[in-house]
A and B are shown apart, each in its own frame.
Chain A
Amino acid sequence: MLELITFSTLNGVLYGMLLFMMASGLTLIFSMMGVLNFAHASFYMIGAYFGFEISRRIGFWPGFIVAPLLVGAIGALVERYGLRRVHKYGHVAELLFTFGLAFIIEELVQMFWGKLPVDYRVPPSLDFVAFRLFDTTYPAYRMFMLATAVAMFVFLFLVLKRTRVGLIIQAALTHPSMVAMLGHDVPRVFMAVFGVGAALAGLAGVIAGPALVTQPSMAALLGPILFVVIVVGGLGSLAGAFVASLLIGLVQTFAVAINASLADVIGPSADIFGDLGRVTVAQIAPVIPYLLLVLVLVFRPTGLLGNRES
């Protein structure tokens, strides 16, 4: 039992931190530009594939550095030549643009790398057992992922709290219309934020690719969860995104470990619910985020830590 709890906590925190690496960029982009970027998870996927391609040609570490930068550049280009063009048609058009983009990216990835998962391996330098509890092992690579995510978190925190750019971004989070008045080149700020957000997602992809799976559906699997995170956390709230990421990471991981069903709790009277009465918590673990989303929006429409209505 103790090992189950330990490993579930580790896995949950890890998953939560990965989510946050993406949700932070998504929140920044949404708060400043009003664009809910459907293609954000696609940048995560591109990151994983670039990481794979570079690591099989040169090595994992060059990919670790280069792939996120490339993804960031792609993100900036998408903003400059795509989003900015659509901006004049309003937020719905922007949202739909990213929706279409996500679709195209998936198709292109399938064309270039095939429909099956690619063999993106953990680098040999990290391919060992980090520690052993009872007789379950925990791979070093996962510790590395955790470390990277935490490092990124600290970095982001310092940038936001200690630098001028961070102050502007914070101002933009709470008062989106004010940024233009600060005398900054708004389009360029947008492009930079979009690029950095994409690069962060790309970095998440590079490190998650070998541990999870690098395949064309990885974006579509993760994308909706990201929206859940930022809506549950509160649109425009970085702290909220952080809390929601960890919450969803832990809830989803622990839910898997629970075998109880409605029938176990209320007895045979659960039969009135038909099949639903016999479903275990573990079975529905992946839909718990959506349940959470609906509940939060019903009872606290601004999200856990948000204060913006839309």
Chain B
Amino acid sequence: MSATVRTLLAFALFAVALAIMPKIFPSGTALTMMSLMGVAIVFALSYNMLLGQTGLLSFGHAVYYGLAGFAAIHAMNWVVRNKIGVSLPFIPIVGAVAGLFFGIVFGSISTRRAGTVFAMISLGLGELVVAITLIMRGVFGGEEGISANRAKLEPFFGFKFGPQIEVYYLIAVWCFICVAAMYALTRTPFGRMCNAVRDNPERAEFVGYSTQRVRFIAFCLSALFAGVAGALGAITFELVNAQALSAQQSGLVLLMSYVGGVGHFFGPIIGAVLITLLQISLSDITKAWLLYFGLMFIFVVMFWPGGIAGFIDQHRPIVRSGRFGRLLPSYSALALPVAGIALGVIGIIELAHHQLVEAASEGSKMKLFGIATDSATVAPWLALVALLAVAGLVFRAIWPKAAEAFATANAAARGAAP
């Protein structure tokens, strides 16, 4: 199977998956969540055009997402007010244009430099823009933001986009287009030079490329796609406010991309789906969810720098050469201690959180993993610490074996590969 056919097949599968998801998860929440995942996928991929592809670490990417969101919401209101015959599916184009515009404006300042200084400028610009949005209430609607009613636009072949399902499909189509476009971008001369500039900017200058120009174009295109994401977000929520371009939003997209894996085109997609899911549902399960987010991030940075996609990628040659079976025994042996460590860590965090935060007003009695316990007593603490210690020791004992098994299988697989 040639690479091109495989790619086309993958995108066909992606399209099918997008199309049938609502049949599998028809509830309103699931639809909203999947719509948000679509938005997040576009946003995270646009971010990875900078971080993963061009090596630019930005702490202010939400600026383009948010500003384009405002542009889109104003466009929606303007279209409704002036009764112009534009229907909702065309609104993301406004977002793209706005994203591109602000990308050009801010990019011309910030892409003069790379590395740490670029990161700092992105942070500074982000803070500036947030401050300005709060001051210019006329345009940005203060903290309440600007709202719109998407169902008031001209119907599109009879669709009014009131129901979430219709919005889901609108986002799915745009998401597909953007993913395909961004993927295609990585396969162009420009895309390749982005990688070259990421790997070795100096050398890129000596093969005729202005690294500053490469960074600038990458930045503008990335802002364009972030703009589409911002407009899609505006359509889902029918509301945009200053938080859409805040530092938290920028941090979130960084988290998505990094946890998913910046070294792999599809990494940010995994990250976007996973983080969106966790963000919306984890808070129902635990009040310490932000802490888990932080720990997850640090864990990925320290032990899994390739992210989830990187981890899977490492195993690809092994799976391909049919050697994954040989890893199973040592991996399944690891599963138990890993589960033990996870359980121990989660238990201790939950216990500590309950004792420190809630015990004062609600008493120290609590339910941990469905078991009634008391965070003020020593027993649960001891049990969890013991669990953690035992699991940790077992892990340390078997880890070298698993690592060795991986190394052997990997070497064999790569040796076998053409």
Contact = CB atoms under 8 A, between A and B. Distances in A.
Interface of A: 36, 82, 85-86, 89, 91-93, 95-97, 99-101, 103-104, 107-108, 111-112, 114, 224, 227-228, 231, 235, 274-276, 279, 283-284, 286-287, 290-291, 293-294, 297-298, 301, 309-310
Contacts of B114: 310
B291 A298 contact: no
17 contacts: A82-B302, A89-B301, A89-B305, A93-B305, A96-B254, A96-B258, A104-B298, A111-B357, A224-B124, A224-B127, A290-B124, A294-B109, A294-B128, A297-B113, A301-B112, A301-B117, A310-B115
B117 A103 contact: no
Given A111-B288, A276-B136, A287 B357 contact: no
Given A274-B138, A287-B127, A107 B294 contact: yes
A244 B173 CA distance: 50
Contacts of A293: 120-121, 124
A276 B121 contact: no
A27 to B, nearest CB: 13
Interface in B287-303: 288, 290-291, 293-295, 297-298, 301-302
Contact of A103 (B112, B125, B258, B293): B293
A13 B147 CA distance: 44
Q: Which of B115, B116, B293 has the most CB of A within 10 A?
A: B116
Contacts of B135: 275-276, 279, 283-284
Nearest to A104: B294
A294 B115 contact: no
Q: What are the nearest 10 A-B pairs in CB distance?
A: A104-B294, A103-B294, A100-B298, A287-B131, A293-B124, A107-B291, A100-B297, A290-B124, A275-B136, A310-B115
B407 interface: no
Given A107-B291, A290-B128, A101 B298 contact: yes
A200 B352 CA distance: 30
B117 A235 contact: yes
Given A100-B297, A103-B293, A290-B127, A95 B116 contact: yes
Contacts of A104: 291, 294-295, 298
Nearest to B306: A89
Nearest to B117: A310
Contact of B301 (A97, A111, A274): A97
B118 to A, nearest CB: 9
B146 to A, nearest CB: 14
Interface residues of B, number: 43
B275 interface: no
Contacts of B139: 274-275
B301 A301 contact: no
A107 B302 contact: no
B389 interface: no
B115 to A, nearest CB: 5
B298 A97 contact: yes
B119 interface: yes
A231 B117 contact: yes
Main secondary structure of the interface of A (DSSP, over half): helix
B109 A298 contact: yes
A96 B297 CA distance: 9
Nearest to B297: A100
Given A224-B127, A290-B131, A297-B124, 15 more contacts: A95-B119, A100-B294, A100-B301, A103-B294, A103-B297, A224-B123, A231-B117, A274-B136, A274-B139, A275-B138, A287-B127, A294-B128, A297-B121, A310-B115, A310-B117
Contacts of B116: 36, 91, 95, 235, 310
Interface of B: 51, 55, 57, 109, 112-117, 119-121, 123-125, 127-128, 131-132, 135-139, 251, 254, 258, 288, 290-291, 293-295, 297-298, 301-302, 305, 352-353, 356-357
Contact of A227 (B123, B136, B293, B297): B123
A293 to B, nearest CB: 4
A103 B251 CA distance: 10
A95 B57 contact: yes
B341 to A, nearest CB: 17
Contact of B302 (A97, A227, A276, A286): A97
A114 B121 contact: no
Nearest to A302: B117
B128 A297 contact: no
Contacts of A284: 131, 135
B120 A107 contact: no
A227 B297 CA distance: 22
B291 A108 contact: yes
B356 A112 contact: yes
Most chain A beta-carbon contacts within 10 A, residue among B121, B137, B298: B298
A93 B120 CA distance: 16
Contact of B113 (A36, A85, A224, A301): A301
Contacts of A96: 57, 254, 258, 297, 301
A286 B357 CA distance: 32
A227 B55 CA distance: 20
Contacts of A108: 291
A308 B200 CA distance: 19
Nearest to B262: A92
A32 to B, nearest CB: 14
B137 A275 contact: yes
Given A36-B119, A275-B138, A86 B291 contact: no
A68 B135 CA distance: 39
A100 B296 CA distance: 9
A297 B138 CA distance: 30
Nearest to B357: A111
Contacts of B51: 92
A103 B136 CA distance: 30
A95 B122 CA distance: 14
A152 B112 CA distance: 37
B306 to A, nearest CB: 9
A111 B356 contact: yes
Contacts of A99: 251, 254, 297
